Amino acid sequence: MNKTIYDILGVGIGPFNLSLAALSSSISDCKSIFLDARSRFNWHPGMMLEGTRLQTPFMSDLVTMADPTNEYSFLNYSKLNGHLYPFYIRENFFLVRKEYNQYCQWACNRLSNLKFNSCVTMISYDENEALYCVQTQDTLLNREETYYCHHLVLGTGTQPYLPDFCNEKEHEVIHSANYLMHKAELKKSTCITVVGSGQSAAEIFYDLLTDIDIEKYRLRWLTRSPRFFPLEYTKLTLEMTSPEYIDYFHQLEPEQRRALIKKQKHLYKGINADLINDIYDLLYIKRLSHDCAVEMMTNISVNALSHEKSHVILKCQHSETHNNFQLESEHIVMATGYEYQLPQFLDGISSHLRFDSHGELDVQRNYSVDRNNKIFVQNVGLHTHGLTSPDLGMVCYRNATILNQVLGRTHYKVEKSIAFQQFSPPNCESHLYNATTEDSL
């Protein structure tokens, strides 16, 4: 029986692989398919708060930065749906998160190389035919299917992270990813504590602060950071999301990269400056007419939780004074971020993958993680490619790089140099100054 062989098979349909699906859909000699266990695309539904926006401009859509004329651009979506003039008049480069989700769903409805309700269960490799065999379970029809491909692109994304001392099975503790599903319950609390330092924590705190005078709960925000850090968004800093900086970062020693990325969290995990200001303004307004019970504490590490009757006890330490203390809260929202977990379906081809000394995927410069440039990853590689890894603004760059590698030719032009500044030290004589001349000045 003849079987279909795909050039690219993507596992997971998030923004990264959806971009790859859109960019590959028009390439006649590139047969692609993308699989996802979910029934449809729905981007972070638990954090789809009204009015929240992306932290990157609208040009960081699925295709524009690789192919501005592509039919799956946000501007084309806006035009076809009658939104282009309102978007123009609004004069705001940053898409509302709900609008971005709707745009991605629109693209999903038009693309023919996506298959939802398809859960990948195992991947193996056929040595004789040099093909990857991808076994799936169709969750609608309850039947097994097998796909064959030359290249894999893993876009399974990151999973909500909770510290070991947390147990989300306890209904008093939720992860920020599930905030909206629990919002009604939270608002009935006498005390809510938000734990976290980034954008999600700030958005949830602001959202709960809006109704604090109506619902009369106590609201607390704890962060390990010494202050509520804004996302640094100056233009020369933004040049660090560039091919040159990826080149520079990737060639550093692995341990040096890990140390460096720890110092750069405010470059990719900070809070929008306007949201910080909005929080302050709302606090000011609320306290003009209401005695609101609000606490915002910096330098606080939560090290353990215990349950007592209907409350949770947070065991905390102040990182600068080293004072230990306890706080009581009826509900806790842990805005503790996300982490990558290697999917179990890769066990059958684990020998193909490259790992570093920390047991993490050793992502090569072209985003491959195997020895033969056949397996690629999306939204992975903070430790190898730096702050560009989770950046939606670099999705098209990443996917153009992957597609060109798969095709063995340059189908999409990939910029190599866009920054005014230089990240690596000079390595040619023209950069060396004449010591005698300098000393004589």
- What mean pLDDT is predicted for residues 337-353? 95
Count Cα atoms within 13 angstroms, Cβ side, for 80. Answer: 11
The DSSP letter of residue 263 is T
Final residue of a structural domain among 277, 312, 334: 334
What average pLDDT does range 79-85 have in this prediction? Answer: 97
Tens of pLDDT, residues 391-414: 999 999 999 999 999 999 999 999
Are 299 and 399 found together in one domain? no
Residue 441 resides in a domain: no
Q: Is 293 within the bounds of a domain?
A: yes
Mean pLDDT for the stretch of residues 190-202: 96
Domain membership of residue 219 (yes or no) is yes
Instruction: Classify residue 303: in a domain, yes or no.
Output: yes
Residue 241 lies in a domain: no
pLDDT value at residue 309 = 80
**CA 398 to CA 377: how far, in whole Å?**
10
Average pLDDT score over residue span 74-101: 96
Same-domain status, 352 and 311:
no
Tell me the mean pLDDT in the region 176-205: 96
Statement: residue 182 has pLDDT above 90 = yes
The residues with which 308 forms a beta bridge, in sequence order, are 311
| Same domain, residue pair 182 and 64 | no
3-state SS class at 50: coil
Predicted local distance difference test score (pLDDT) of residue 2: 66
Q: Is residue 16 part of a domain?
A: yes
pLDDT band at 168 (very low <50, low <70, confident <90, very high): low
With a cut of 50, say whether residue 432 has pLDDT above it: no
Same domain, 172 and 30: no
| Alpha helices (H) in 251-394, listed in sequence order | 254-262, 265-268, 273-289, 382-385
Do 26 and 89 have their domain in common? yes
| Residue that terminates a domain, selected from 334, 363, 384 | 334
Question: How many residues are there in the chain?
Answer: 441
Give dist(CA 200, CA 176) in Å, integer: 7
pLDDT at 433: 40
The neighbour count for residue 188, using CB atoms within 10 Å, is 11
CATH assignment of the domain containing 217: 3.50.50.60
If pLDDT is split at 50, 70 and 90, which confidence band does 439 have? very low
Q: pLDDT category, 169, cuts 50, 70, 90?
A: low
Query: Do 294 and 192 share a domain, yes or no?
Result: yes
- 123: pLDDT strictly greater than 80: yes
SS3 content of the chain, % helix, strand, coil (to 5): 35, 25, 40
Count: domains in the chain? 2
Task: Answer yes or no: do 137 and 200 share one domain.
Answer: no
Q: Write the single-letter amino acid at 6.
A: Y
For 17-46, how does the pLDDT look when each residue is reduced to its tens digit (9 = 90+)?
A: 999 999 999 999 999 999 999 999 999 999
First to last CA, the chain: 82
Claim to verify: residue 362 and residue 386 sit in the same structural domain: yes
Across 157-181, average pLDDT: 89
Q: What is the pLDDT of residue 268?
A: 85
Q: Are 65 and 105 contained in the same domain?
A: yes
CB atoms within 10 A of CB 60: 24
In a domain, 51, yes or no: yes
Q: Is residue 24 part of a domain?
A: yes
Do residues 306 and 353 both lie within one domain? no
Greatest CA span in the chain, whole angstroms? 82
Beta bridge partners of 320: none
**CA separation for the pair 141, 4 (Å, rounded):** 20
pLDDT over 90, % of the chain: 89
- The model's pLDDT over 268-317, given as tens digits with 9 standing for 90+, comes to 889 999 999 999 999 999 999 888 899 999 999 999 999 888 899 999 99
Q: Is the pLDDT of residue 239 over 50?
A: yes
pTM reported for the whole predicted model? 0.93
Looking at the fold, whether 391 and 320 belong to one and the same domain comes out as no
Same domain, 297 and 394: no
| Higher pLDDT, residue 1 or 126 | 126
Q: Locate 171 and state its tokens.
A: 């209904």
Domain of 148 in residue numbering reads as 5-159+338-407
Show which of 285, 311, 334 is a domain's final residue: 334
Write down the residue that tokens 């309700």 correspond to. 117
| Mean model confidence pLDDT for the chain | 93
